[in-house]
Amino acid sequence: MTVPTNAQPPNPAESLSDLPLRSSQEIQGNILAGFSKDHQLFIFLRFGPDRAANRAYLDALWPRIATTEQVANFNAQFSAARQRRGGDDPLNLKAVWVNVGLTAHGLLAVAPGLDSDLDRFFAYKQGPGPRAQALNDIGPSAPTRWVFGASSQPLVDVLLTIAADEPGDLELEADRQRQLAARHSLSVLFEQHGETLPDERVGHEHFGFKDGVSQPGVIGFHPVNPDRPGERLDHPGTEMIAAGEFVLGQPGEFGVEDVPEWAVNGSFQVFRRLNQDVPGFWAQVLRRRDELGPADTLSADALAAKLVGRWRSGTPLAHAPDRDNRSAQDATLDNDFKYDDDPEGIKTPRFAHIRKMYPRNNNRFGDRTRRIMRRGIPFGPAFDPTFGRGHGVDAERGLLFNVFMASIERQFEFLQQTWANNAHFPGDALGDGRVDGPDPVIGEAPEKVELNREDHPQAHLDFRRFVHTSGAVYAFAPSLSTLRRLGAGELGNEEPPDDVLRVGGQAFITRSGGNFSWRLREQPGLSGRVVAALTPGTQMTLLEGPISADGHLWWRVRTTNSREGWVAQGGLVPRPD
């Protein structure tokens, strides 16, 4: 972590003085206080075999991790300086921040005694690979196509986020982090750069739409508007949500949830590498627009806005259903709307991305407990073939979806499964039986969406998905105290008993499991391709599991001759270390 240069610590406004979470030295930066940097690097690391060395790595790392207090103070100072400069960024106010998340495999590598605690966080413990099918990560989005995070790949233990205002500063910190990892025998599995798009594309994602518009306010961190209770000051329409929906151990919408002491002030992190096919998306919009017929005056831009729920500028259809008449004043109102006056989806279709992900009616949908804190950033060059090689279809591009929350199952996975992928939402929840279609941007595909407009016949349009998952990690961003204790070997020292199957433990094949249990498979399940036949007595290390498939529990294992794959639990017997 690098502190601001040529700048004194900020003097927080009086309205911020009674917001205790802003001064937290326990909650990592980028959870409540976003890094908000144009240049970011995500480094995916794997621990070595020596637990003491892994702990020593965390002991050396934690003092460099940014705190909420540091980032919040810097952001307040930066905003004040930019306001004084008439909206231009200050020239000499810069920082470099670092955040760290541990996967379940990584956490247990340094604290095996926490294994039973993780049973309550089952999505985190399993990881994204085994849960991919339930999220509709299939076909082009299947884990077999991922560049990191799949069960068939080396397991990620540590996810580092490095963020900086200047690319040179980013690379200097990245070199420090690589050297620190190497000194402690960690290996780099993958690195992913993220960059804000240039020029007029700043703040937009690759399809061209302004991104990150609808972030929740957080009670105890953001000031409240005294004239509109329940909303964030200077952000009309932005709901204030209990901090416990993002940070464990803090008061949530229904009180304080009982969590293990080591999890207090930590947050679960979902990181997904989402590839975007820009020409494919816009070609599809043009084709579907043509299907409406020459007499229909709906433009391609307007149809694309129907898919997202906003115009490319960020103006919501709820304010401007027919054309984007944006002004400077409109930008302050981008979140100040609901859908109560549009039950049929005439202005904002009920399938629109922003309406699916945030229906803005807590009494009907309970959406206050589904909010997530988004810290995403684009990756890859902007699509513009006129710039030559590397700027067209020959280059990857997309969004690094990076979010924090208190529950992966209740928040991220619910949003994806129950709302985005569900063609019957919100119809089932409202009881009207309508099938509006899935989210056409990130939802299940192929599917039809139901477009309703005044004075036009209902249209059923077939929208294919042009966003594909190419990597995923579930991590936990611990508090600074927990990181320190993990590094000092003060947490989870007790070893699990030898007579149970556990990640990192040893096992062997038993004769009683049946022939199907003696097969090493590429994927969990009876349909998984067999990569090797095992014999009773074969010894192995348990890498991941158990997960359920085809009526059996499965473990990912590595045999003594270094073959990796999945084995049915019925054929395994624990072997004392």
How many CB atoms lie under 10 A from the CB of residue 338? 11
pLDDT of residue 22: 98
Q: What percent of the chain has pLDDT over 70?
A: 94
pLDDT band at 5 (very low <50, low <70, confident <90, very high): very low
With residue 470 as reference, give the H or E element that holds it: strand 467-477
| pLDDT tens digits along 153-204 | 899 999 999 999 999 999 999 999 999 999 999 999 999 999 999 999 999 9
| pLDDT tens digits along 297-313 | 999 999 999 999 999 99
Distance CA 232, CA 115 (A): 39
How many CB atoms lie under 10 A from the CB of residue 59? 17
Contact (CB, 8 A) for 150 and 564: no
Backbone angles phi and psi of 169, in degrees to 5: -65, -35
DSSP H helices, 259-352, are: 278-291, 300-308, 328-331
Closest CA to 54 of 155, 148, 157: 157
Domains, the chain, ordered by start: 14-273+472-488 (no CATH), 506-575 (2.30.30.40)
pLDDT of residue 329: 58
Residue 512, CB half-sphere, CA atoms under 13 Å: how many? 4
Query: What letter represents residue 193's amino acid?
Result: H
pLDDT of residue 571: 80
DSSP H helices, 426-554, are: 427-430, 480-488
pLDDT band at 347 (very low <50, low <70, confident <90, very high): very high
pLDDT of residue 515: 62
Backbone angles phi and psi of 557, in degrees to 5: -135, 165
pLDDT of residue 10: 41
Please state at what angle helix 300-308 crosses helix 278-291, rounded to 10 degrees.
Answer: 110
Grouping H, G, I as helix, E, B as strand and the rest as coil, residue 267 is: strand
| pLDDT tens digits along 432-483 | 999 999 999 999 876 789 999 988 889 999 988 999 999 999 999 999 999 9
Backbone angles phi and psi of 145, in degrees to 5: -105, 0
| pLDDT tens digits along 63-91 | 999 999 999 999 999 999 999 998 888 98
Strand spans (E) along 22-119 = 39-46, 96-102
Residue 456: CB partners within 8 Å, gap ≥ 6? 296
Distance CA 224, CA 470 (A): 39
| pLDDT tens digits along 379-409 | 999 999 999 999 999 999 999 999 999 999 9
pTM: 0.88
In the predicted structure, residue 6 carries a pLDDT above the cut 80: no
Residue 347: CB partners within 8 Å, gap ≥ 6? 317, 318, 321
Contact (CB, 8 A) for 435 and 427: yes
Q: Average pLDDT for residues 306-334, to the nearest whole number?
A: 88
522's tokens: 């590429």
Q: How many helices (H) and strands (E) would you count in the chain?
A: 13, 20
With residue 356 as reference, give the H or E element that holds it: helix 353-357
